[in-house]
Structure 1
Amino acid sequence: MGTDYESKISVYGGIDTHKDTHHVAVIDEHGRPLGDREFGATGAGYRKGIDYLRGFGVVVAVAVEGTGSYGAELARILRRAGMTVLEVARPDRRARRLHSKSDPLDALQAAVTALSGRGLATPKDRDGLVESMRILLTERSSARKARGAAMNQIHALLVTAPEQIRATYRNLGNVKLVAALARSRPTPGHGPEQTLRGTLKRLAVRHQQHTSDIDGIDTRLGELAAQVNPALLQLPGVGPLVASQLLVACGDNPERLSSEQQFAALCGTAPIPASSGKHQRHRLSRGGDRTANSAIHRIVLVRMSAGDTRTVDYIARRTAEGKSDREIIRCLKRFVAREVFKIIEESAASE
């Protein structure tokens, strides 16, 4: 292990995370490999990994792959142990095809990245109210997909249903259709018509249950958003869902975002140069957190449809300058990102 090394030397760690195991590599301040070893992704394995790192000297920083997935709990434990944890992006598939790939090499590369200080980010803390919001958003997403699937199945079954059944529900919108099917009393039996009526009722009841779940989640998200950042909810176009998505993008430690430009890049609203020849222009970014990008896009659309004075005036002015609708929306999204970050930054500074 590290017993042959001076206890006071500075070392850097890199960890390649997987579902069942984590591979730890250690280098000194000159980039020389000191050792690597695999540990189980369990409580005992985490403790052994920390002891292994400390056995080589003073741990300056540890770069961890996948702090948002397999390395989430590991990152929490490393922070509790007083270590500086950095998030390193996994090598892209093309780079891995061109170069050799193994867990020890990936861990070593992460350690080298920690030493160089390039391509790193501060990982999100996952131990506060924002983490609760992330969990609720995950549940809401699955409930929404399941509700949509139930409605699609109802329509698909009605398309092939006998005319008598189709005529009963033909002119009903989705809300009334679900309510009518849920109230129906199918006749027991094993024939195709009885089976169809029973299935339609169960699908409608399932749809109502998912709707109830989503409404309950939205209520809880509103309560949490009001605790975390009530000022954000006061912005035009920002509701509990949008506020939650933006706060989750920042994490429980929004101070990790050092500037509004960094926040804009995170949300995919930073302008990307797309100039060529005599044409000077920017385009929308297709990177960043797409959920946060969707939230900011929704704010812009709500302000446009609600006739927000600032938004309407800006659109009129930019349209007169010859800007396209897409370019105007891009600019509006950038403005909203700046506005949102200011509120999040002020809230973090006041804590």
Structure 2
Amino acid sequence: MATEPTNVIAGIDTHADTHHVAVINEHGKPLADKEFLAVGSGYRKIVDFITSHGTVSAVGVEGTGSYGAEISRILRGEGLCVLEVNRPNRAARRLKGKSDPLDAYQAAQSVLDGRTKSVPNAKDGPVECLRILRAGRTSALKARTAAINQIKGLLVTAPDKLRAKYRSLGTAAMMTALQRTRPTGHIADPEYVCLLTLKALATRCHSLAAEIATADAALREILDTYAPMLCDLPGVGTEVASQLLVTVGDNPDRLGNEAQFAALVGVAPIPASSGKTIRHRLSRGGDRNANHALYQVVLVRMASCQRTKDYVAKRTAEGKSKREIMRCLKRYAGREIYRQITNPQPAPDNTDLRQMRTALGCTITTAARELGQCPPRFPSWNGASSETTPSPGSTASG
């Protein structure tokens, strides 16, 4: 009598040099565990080890964004379902102890229990290129800022002749002037050494500025090909668009709906009600870099978008604080950007639609019904405060 194939689940505890793999069956019984080198041959052995115990239902991998990135790619290439495992529960770790085999079994068990459902970033497409470019650009920005601060710090204690000549200049003019200097003197002369150092730092700033400009051009080229209409949204530029795409990843289908995206970027409203007080607070979770990107979008819209200004005035009159208003605006912006990422649509020039509809005395529901659209999906914003309305900063306004 032929035996039925065994369904197994694997868990992988990843490290820089080695990965520890554990396999359990569909009932949670441990079958085997083994350590492998984190190299090409080791990855192939991991695949053979996992598949040798039965039909693999899923593989839970720790650190899919770092040490587990390559093994995740290889497992997906083999057609296996890969899920991202979060750090083990600290309370359980204190009770049961910690070791590589225990962590690997814990990863497999979390998949079996349904506590792990996150699909990791694919890291194999144009968004991965954006992430790498942004990493280099961020490093160059920090280095340039450090160099500028060092220049200004040196000028504080520099001889009066240098201070009087350069401290009154703006940053860009100062960098250009210092780079063009030709210091002469003796190596034991403080004024000569100071000017020599200032010239070297200014030259470094110009080099870093050129590096940043090159990265910006590469980012823009990728965005023009991969998401050409994302930057058409108000307040969304190269920096914001690239960061949000990096957060979403090369496989945006891993996000089931817009609410999951809101949680990912830290704009999902968190209930903070008690007694007669009913309110929501800012989310402290999610990708904080993506949250900061949405914050920049909101700042731009509050300064330049008339509808957003009207919305802020309306909510302020209702007694909402600025932080609460910005929380709502970030939620609106997140909804609009998610829709543009998953279903790109050109932003129409319809700035007069709302005024025309108001002049005709036509409600937004009536207009949606006449156009055969569902009112919540009709491309318009009527200033309502509900979380289901489109963004007040959206270009699609009715």
- Selected match of 1:268 from 242, 266, 269: 266
Task: Measure, in 1, the Cα distance between the counterparts of 2:185 and 2:50.
Answer: 67
* Structure number, greater radius of gyration: 2
Query: Secondary structure in 2 aligned to 1:292?
Result: helix
Matched, 1:115 2:105: no
Q: Residue 23 and residue 199 in structure 1: after superposition, are their counterparts in 2 closer, same or farther (change >3 A)?
A: same
In structure 2, the residue matched to 1:203 is 201
Q: What is the Cα-based RMSD across aligned positions, in Å?
A: 1.6
**Residues 37-90 of structure 1: per-residue CA shift (max 9 Å, x gap):** 000000000001110011101111100000000000010001111111100111
- Selected match of 1:284 from 282, 288, 293: 282
Query: Secondary structure in 1 aligned to 2:123?
Result: coil
Corresponding letter in the other structure for 1:115: L
- Selected match of 1:56 from 49, 53, 57: 53
In structure 2, the residue matched to 1:35 is 32
**Residues 269-301 of structure 1: per-residue CA shift (max 9 Å, x gap):** 011111222221111111100111011110010
Task: Measure, in 2, the Cα distance between the counterparts of 1:147 and 1:264.
Answer: 33
More helix as a share of residues: 1
Task: Measure, in 2, the Cα distance between the counterparts of 1:161 and 1:196.
Answer: 7
Q: TM-score, normalised by structure 1?
A: 0.95
Q: Residue 119 and residue 316 in structure 1: after superposition, are their counterparts in 2 closer, same or farther (change >3 A)?
A: same
Q: Residue 206 and residue 38 in structure 1: after superposition, are their counterparts in 2 closer, same or farther (change >3 A)?
A: same
Matched, 1:15 2:17: no
Cα deviation, residue 188, structure 1: 4.7
**Size of the alignment, in residue pairs?**
343
Cα deviation, residue 320, structure 1: 1.2
Task: Measure, in 2, the Cα distance between the counterparts of 1:264 and 1:233.
Answer: 19
Query: Secondary structure in 2 aligned to 1:64?
Result: strand
In structure 1, the residue matched to 2:299 is 301
Q: Residue 147 and residue 101 in structure 1: after superposition, are their counterparts in 2 closer, same or farther (change >3 A)?
A: same
**Residues 279-335 of structure 1: per-residue CA shift (max 9 Å, x gap):** 2111111110011101111001011112x1221121111111111111100000000
Corresponding letter in the other structure for 1:222: R
Task: Check conservation: 2:22, 2:108, Cα contact below 8 A.
Answer: yes
Corresponding letter in the other structure for 1:53: I
Corresponding letter in the other structure for 2:206: Q
In structure 1, the residue matched to 2:254 is 256
Instruction: Tell me which of the two structures has the higher relative contact order, counting C-alpha pairs closer than 8 angstroms and 6 or more residues apart.
Output: 1
In structure 1, the residue matched to 2:71 is 74
Corresponding letter in the other structure for 2:117: L
Cα deviation, residue 120, structure 1: 2.8
Identical amino acids, percent of aligned pairs: 58
Task: Check conservation: 1:39, 1:49, Cα contact below 8 A.
Answer: yes
Gapped regions of structure 2 (runs ≥ 5): 346-398
Task: Measure, in 2, the Cα distance between the counterparts of 1:290 and 1:31.
Answer: 36
In structure 2, the residue matched to 1:103 is 100
Task: Check conservation: 2:88, 2:106, Cα contact below 8 A.
Answer: no
In structure 2, the residue matched to 1:227 is 225
In structure 1, the residue matched to 2:335 is 338
In structure 2, the residue matched to 1:26 is 23
Cα deviation, residue 29, structure 1: 0.5
Q: Residue 193 and residue 35 in structure 1: after superposition, are their counterparts in 2 closer, same or farther (change >3 A)?
A: same
Cα deviation, residue 119, structure 1: 3.1
**Residues 149-201 of structure 1: per-residue CA shift (max 9 Å, x gap):** 00111011111111111111121111111111111111153122211111100
Task: Measure, in 2, the Cα distance between the counterparts of 1:187 and 1:176.
Answer: 22
In structure 1, the residue matched to 2:360 is none
